[in-house]
Amino acid sequence: MHTDRMPKAEAKKAEFLRSEALHTLQLPDSEPVRSLALELKESLAADDRKAVQAASSEIISVLSNSYKVATPAVKILAARPQKVSGDWVFETFGDYEPDSMRIRLWMRTAVQKKPTAFGTMLHTLCHEFCHHLDMVSLDLHNTYHTRGFFERTALLYHHLQGTPVKPIVWRKLSDGTYQVDWQKMRHSARR
Ligand SMILES: [Zn+2]
């Protein structure tokens, strides 16, 4: 997890700082989303694309109702597309297209065709949904990857899994961006 650079233009910078300062997110009821997350886990383990599709769409639908926002379409692909066209917000395991409000996730990595791990899949689903929330609900139209964005995503992710939230330890890089300090996070988890 690595933050975007802060934009220079005043209006964009103001939006970036608002996203940065927004550390929390109201969370939906734990059910049915936790049961649906378990369904996603089992479907992924069974390598059943239709069931992964059904569980993912249902999670997004329940979340959208809970946040009272339009429901994005979810498409599960067998593998990561090799060619990228259009205005997609592109990640390693999924993407979100703002204009059509579509989320795509892939069950396999592009090169090695290894199955995507459940934690990665669920985290990507939450990540893409948080881009959606930024744009349609939080008045954050550029949906920057700020520390606040990653913290909101982590809250939703742990809530869906029913796992405790670990505070994210950030390391500032020389260009002013931040990266997660996994070593320090593991260290603090052991203490
Ligand atoms: Zn993103």
Chain segment 99-124, per-residue pLDDT in tens: 999 999 999 876 667 788 899 999 99
Share of the chain above pLDDT 70, in %: 91
Dist. CA 154–CA 166, nearest whole Å? 9
- Residue 131 alpha carbon to ligand 1 centre in Å: 7
40 occurs within a structural domain: yes
Q: What is the mean pLDDT of residues 45-73?
A: 97
- Residue 141 alpha carbon to ligand 1 centre in Å: 13
Structural domain count of the chain: 1
77 occurs within a structural domain: yes
Tokens, residue 87: 């205005």
**What is residue 24's DSSP assignment?**
-
Q: Look at residue 186 in the predicted model and tell me its pLDDT.
A: 79
- Residue 191 alpha carbon to ligand 1 centre in Å: 31
- Residue 89 alpha carbon to ligand 1 centre in Å: 6
178 occurs within a structural domain: no
Average pLDDT, the chain: 90
Q: Check if the beta carbon of residue 158 is closer than 8 Å to that of residue 164.
A: yes
The parent domain of residue 94 ranges over 25-165
- Spatial neighbors of 30 by CB under 8 A, at least 6 apart, are 159, 162
58 occurs within a structural domain: yes
- Residue 95 alpha carbon to ligand 1 centre in Å: 7
Instruction: Supply the pTM of this predicted model.
Output: 0.91
pLDDT band at 75 (very low <50, low <70, confident <90, very high): very high
CA distances from 28 to 65, 138, 155, 171, 188 (A): 9, 16, 11, 30, 28
